Amino acid sequence: MKKIILFYAVILFLFGCGYTSEQKQKINLSYFDVKGYFENEVNRLQKSSPAIYKMVEVNGSTETKTVKITDWKKELAIFSEADINKDSWKGLFKIIKQADKETYVSDNEKVPIKEIEITYTSSKEVSKLLIIVKNNNSLYTSADSLFYYPDSVYKIVKSQKIKLLSDRNYKVTGRFR
């Protein structure tokens, strides 16, 4: 009886030492790891703490100021939420690879992320990320264009059309100082 209990304890221990589901997901990535890329950027920017010249425009009204971002995870959340490596989206993106660029495109109506374009430097570092997100249902339509140039600028352009309300247009631009 003791041998049987010991055998099962060893089996449970060995299975417990396997990969976590997050580690398995990172191993099985089908597309560019947007979420992981921005996790690394958040960590890097938290440490370097750059000053940002920030411009926010809402329906034509603009406000600008230089700020220190204290929560980069929150600041770049809209970018990291554009994770296209969901199991249910596997195979729904067309991949176009060029020497210095990768583009992921989906025309599936269930996938709000329509395009991600990554441009690389000659040393294979990301020099530009473009993300296009579109949502459409019976109540509203929204379109987001997200631009990220490491250590240079990030930009969020958003338009919303909500039934029975006036259209809303937002633009947030952050320039690294």
What region, left, alpha or beta, does residue 156 occupy, with left being phi > 0 and alpha being psi -120 to 50 degrees?
Answer: beta
The span from the CA of 37 to the CA of 15, in Å, is 30
pLDDT tens digit string along 115-160? 999 999 999 999 999 999 999 888 889 999 999 999 999 999 999 9
Every domain of the chain and the residues it spans: 30-176
More confident residue, 97 or 27: 97
Would you say residue 18 has pLDDT above 60? no
More confident residue, 166 or 132: 132
> In sequence order, which residues have a C-beta less than 8 Å from that of residue 151 and are 6 or more positions away?
50, 176
Mean pLDDT for 51-56 is 97
Query: Would you state the pLDDT for residue 10?
Result: 44
User: How many Å from the N-terminal Cα to the C-terminal Cα in the chain?
Assistant: 69
Enter the pTM of the model: 0.82
**Cα separations in angstroms, 73 against 43, 116, 128, 137:** 8, 20, 19, 29
Distance of CA 140 to the CA centre of its chain: 22
Would you say residue 39 has pLDDT above 50? yes
